[in-house]
Amino acid sequence: MHPILIELGPFKIYSYGFMLALSFFVGILLAGRRAERRGVSRDIVQDLSIILIILAVIGSRVLYILTHRDHYHSIIDIIALWQGGATYYGGLVLALLGAVLYLRRKGVSFLKVADICAPSVALGIFLTRIGCFLSGCCFGSPTGCAFGVSFPPDSPAGFLFPGSAVHPTQLYSSFYGIVIFVILILFDRRRSHDGFAFALLCILYGAARFTVDFFRYYDASAMMTASLTVNQGISVALALLGVMLLIILPRRG
C-alpha cells in the first residue's frame, strides 16, 4: 500500500491524513452551498464545521484507542493521527453533541443543519476510507475470496497477517459511503420535513456498518459479545434512531 503519499526529504504527507483533510475540505464546501439554498447562514455552517472537525478527530481517536489498547504503548503512538487509527462512531457521537449545543446557542434548528450536512458525512466516509486502505488500517479478517488483499509487512494488516489475504473492509466502507451519498442527494428533493436526510443517513449507515463489521478484524477489547462488536451495537442504535425520527417527525409537522 502507500501509507506515505508524498515524501520530500524529512517532509512527509501521509495518505490517511491527506484523505481525512480532503474529506473535511470537500464536505465543508458542499455543506456551505447547501446551507445557502436552505436559508441557513454559510458562516454558521463554516463555524460549526471547525468545531465538528476538532470534536470528530478527538472522539474517533479516543474510541479507537479504547478498543485497540494493545496497539498503543506511548504518547507518540496516541497522537500519531497521520498513521491512521480512528473509530468513526467516537467522532460522530462527540460531534453530534457539540453540534446540538452550538446550534441551540445560535437559535438554529439542529435537524435542518443535520440535513444540510448529511451528504457531506457520507462523502467523507467515501474519501477517508480510501486513506484507511492506503495506510493498511481498519482491515478485515483473513479470507480466501477473490476480493482478498495482501498488505505489505510494514502496514498494520501485513504485520498482523503476514502473507495472508484479508477482506479490504476499507474499500467496502468507501463503497457504501458513496452509495449513501448518492441516495441522500436523490431523496433530498423529496424531503417532507426537517430531519429526513439525517434520519435516512442514520438508517443507511447503521445498516451498512453493521454488515461490513462481520468481515472486519477487531481485537477482543472491541467485542461486545462473542460475535458482535461494540460498533455493531452502536450501529443498531443509530439505525433505530433513524427509524424513530422517520416515524415521529412527520407527526410533529
- Asked whether residue 96 is assigned to any structural domain, the reply reads yes
7 DSSP β-pair partners:
12
Residue 231 belongs to a domain = no
Confirm whether 159 is domain-assigned: yes
Determine, yes or no, domain membership for 247: no
133, 158 contact by CB (below 8 A): no
pLDDT of residue 159: 87
- Residue 20 falls within a domain, yes or no? yes
Q: How many CA atoms lie within 13 A of 229 on its CB side?
A: 22
Does some domain include residue 140?
yes
What stretches of the chain adopt beta strand conformation (E)? 4-8, 11-14, 149-150, 165-166
- pTM, entire model: 0.87
Q: What domain range includes position 44?
A: 4-188
Predicted pLDDT at 79: 60
Question: How many domains does the chain contain in total?
Answer: 1
Mean pLDDT by 10 residues, the chain (253 residues): 80 87 93 90 90 87 72 62 66 89 93 94 95 91 93 87 94 97 90 88 97 92 86 94 92 68
C-alpha cell at 178: 458513496
126 in a structural domain = yes
